Chains A and B, each alone.
Chain A
Amino acid sequence: MSTKSVAESVTTSGKQTVDLAQQTVRDLNQALHDQNKELTIAEWEVLNPKGEHNLAVGLDQKLKVDIFGPVGYYCAGMNKEADITVHGHAGQGIAENMMSGSVRVKGNASSAAGATAHGGFLVIEGDAGSRCGISMKGIDIVVKGNVGHMSCFMGQAGSLVVCGDAGDALGDSLYEVHIYVKGSVKSLGADCIEKEMRQEHLDELSALLEKAGVDEDPKAFKRYGSARQLYNFKVDNASAY
């Protein structure tokens, strides 16, 4: 592994390339975090990720990061402001706890994509594994393929769009997430029901599909959401929350 710092190899084009065959994940993440102090390089390319964990985590700056190849666990976790694209597959917990910015996965993603994320936009162009959007708190997720079982489990806010099929127990113990599925749903989880697709939902779905660059007809989707029988939010008690 080279000891040359990432900063020493700045390209003249203004786009920084980090080759993980030459440098460590720690080198990469430190270099990206250094941009929080002073933004000098906005565009980054990462080569040879080879399924390494924790790539481009905790970014807190308006950066564009392209990772060429498959990534391991927790890539782009805790992202804030950065736009990160994985040109490959992603392991567990892609964009976990994202706050803002965007993450796009060109391949498939493993379990818990977008888990607990408070904001931002996640697009998975392939399939997502189980528990996609588990406990999501405001993120919008668009999956062009299928999602696995227990997706959106305990989802609280935001939207999940599935252009393929959904596995078992979709939306189990759901709070207020809007779920749109074009294909089949193997089963709905506790307190998750199919709901009427009103104009406001068609508008929301259209905007999400367009933002994701997905050519699908919003009218082909069904909407699912919480029956609100399982949790005990009462508007009379709103001042207590």
Chain B
Amino acid sequence: MCGIVGLYLKNDKYENRLGELFAPMLIAMTERGPDSAGFAVYGDEVDDGVKLTLRNEDEDYDWSALAKDIEAKLDTKVEWFQNSKVAVFKVDIDAEAVENYLMENHQDVLIMSSGKSIEILKEVGLPERIVNLFHLENMKGSHIIGHTRMATESAVTMAGSHPFSTGMDLCLVHNGSLSNHNRLRQELKREGIHFETENDSEVAAGYLTYRLQQGDSLTEALEHALDDLDGFFTFTIGTKDGFAVVRDPIACKPAVIAETDDYVAMASEYQALTTLPGIENAKVWEPEPSKVYVWERTTH
């Protein structure tokens, strides 16, 4: 099973209500995925430098000390805030310098995402608990994708939860299972893609990161994915300015898309869309197999 949901605003009309609109969508997919849930929210973009979502299992972890350490050692200014076990750090140097420093000096800190816009929050437990834990309903932004997990292929852990981010601002949620992820993981590792888990979905995210690094557009990367990923999948993908949905050629994992002048929303099932404004008059359809659906902001 698993449930996936996404909401992409085509204009800024609902930016202040993004979390409020999305929370019931995620909770509606509880029956498809009660093991864990997570979401990647895009917004509060940094102009210079990078934004990192960091995590430590100790809720009392001293993020202030970490921020001061980074400021001193990397000669940069750090703005940060904490949300449960997660802290979002904004720094005005490039991501790689901070990531390398953290990996060498603070191995107890997990880097959940890095980019200009993305923040990833996920946890084991029922979606409603996770929505409340992270105060999703108060969040603002331009787009958001989420996942409720019914674990099949790897353990019920926070690390095995979705979304997966393997590159700047890129994030993927997956309903299905991949059959060639082991070999593909080895190939991608040789190309320099870093993986945190043994999860098949992380390989899909890593594959897209690799393709984008090779110069593909999001559409081209997903078209290549249709050739190279074997298995069942409905994917929803977020980038800094983009949102995409794609299903494998068999398309046995469900998906429905709704579009209005204000937003594009996708979900595994229509139930998750019923609370959206104007859904009664939205264009609602089932995405076709092997067809890449992409929405991108040209000005941002």
Contacts and interface: CB of A to CB of B under 8 A. Distances in A.
Say whether A and B bind each other.
yes
A51 B284 contact: no
A111 B284 contact: no
B251 A149 contact: yes
A110 B273 CA distance: 15
B269 interface: yes
Contact of B284 (A50, A108, A149, A167): A108
A111 B274 contact: no
Interface stretch (B14-22, B48-56, B101-109, B285-293): B285-293
B289 A149 contact: yes
Interface in A59-88: 70, 72-73
B195 interface: no
Given A51-B273, A72-B269, A107 B251 contact: no
Interface in A100-148: 107-108, 110-111, 127, 129-130, 148
Q: How large is the interface on B (under 10, 10 to 19, 20 to 34, 35 or more residues)?
A: 10 to 19
A196 to B, nearest CB: 31
A70 B270 contact: yes
Given A70-B284, A129-B286, A130-B289, A111 B270 contact: no
A17 interface: no
Contacts of B285: 108, 127
B171 interface: no
B271 interface: yes
A92 B271 CA distance: 12
Given A50-B274, A149-B251, A107 B269 contact: no
Contacts, number: 46
A51 B289 CA distance: 22
A89 B270 contact: yes
A92 B254 CA distance: 8
Contact of A89 (B252, B272, B284): B284
Contact of B270 (A91, A127, A130, A149): A91
B203 interface: no
Interface string B256-300: 100000000000011111100000000011101100000000000
Interface string A29-61: 000000000000000000000111000000000
Contacts of B272: 51
Contacts of B254: 91-92, 110-111
A149 B256 CA distance: 16
Interface in B179-201: none
Contacts of B288: 148, 167
B28 to A, nearest CB: 8
Contacts of A72: 269-271
A110 B286 contact: yes
Interface of A: 50-52, 70, 72-73, 89, 91-92, 107-108, 110-111, 127, 129-130, 148-149, 167
Q: Which 10 A-B pairs have the closest CB atoms?
A: A51-B270, A51-B271, A50-B274, A129-B286, A70-B270, A110-B286, A89-B284, A51-B274, A130-B251, A72-B271
16 contacts: A51-B270, A51-B273, A70-B284, A72-B270, A89-B270, A89-B284, A91-B254, A91-B270, A107-B284, A108-B286, A110-B254, A110-B256, A111-B254, A127-B285, A127-B286, A129-B286
Given A73-B269, A111-B286, A129-B286, 11 more contacts: A51-B269, A51-B270, A51-B273, A72-B270, A89-B284, A107-B284, A110-B254, A111-B254, A127-B286, A130-B251, A149-B289
